[in-house]
Amino acid sequence: MPLALRQRVGNELQRLVEQDVLEPVRYSRWATPVVVVNKADGKLRLCGDYKVTVNRVAKVDSYPLPRFDEILAALPNASYYSKLDLSQAYQQLVVDEAAQELLTINTHRIQG
């Protein structure tokens, strides 16, 4: 992480902890490096670089996602549609303790 972003990342981590999205831990076998992405609105998105940890040992799900045109073709008589707000979509999921360890991100913050 660039040193210039350290304070902003710390602020974002604190915000996510206060929202109970993240929970500080002292140790995890699967700690993944944090990746910082600048969003169009100037805010930061914190991501994990799982390709260097969990993805190396994860089993690949071979079920292909349907294409948009396939989905529309399956709805010829639909009369109602809805819009989903996927803001912070992955942060809306509650995961069990085993998954929590796999999803741990490694940051510059030190737990005392």
Is residue 30 within 8 Å of 102, Cβ to Cβ?
Answer: yes
pLDDT recorded at residue 94: 85
- Tell me the pTM: 0.73
Helix (H) or strand (E) holding 13: helix 6-18
pLDDT recorded at residue 11: 94
pLDDT (tens digit, 9 = 90+) per residue, 4-43? 999 999 999 999 999 988 999 988 888 899 999 988 899 8
pLDDT (tens digit, 9 = 90+) per residue, 36-67? 998 889 989 999 999 999 999 988 878 888 89
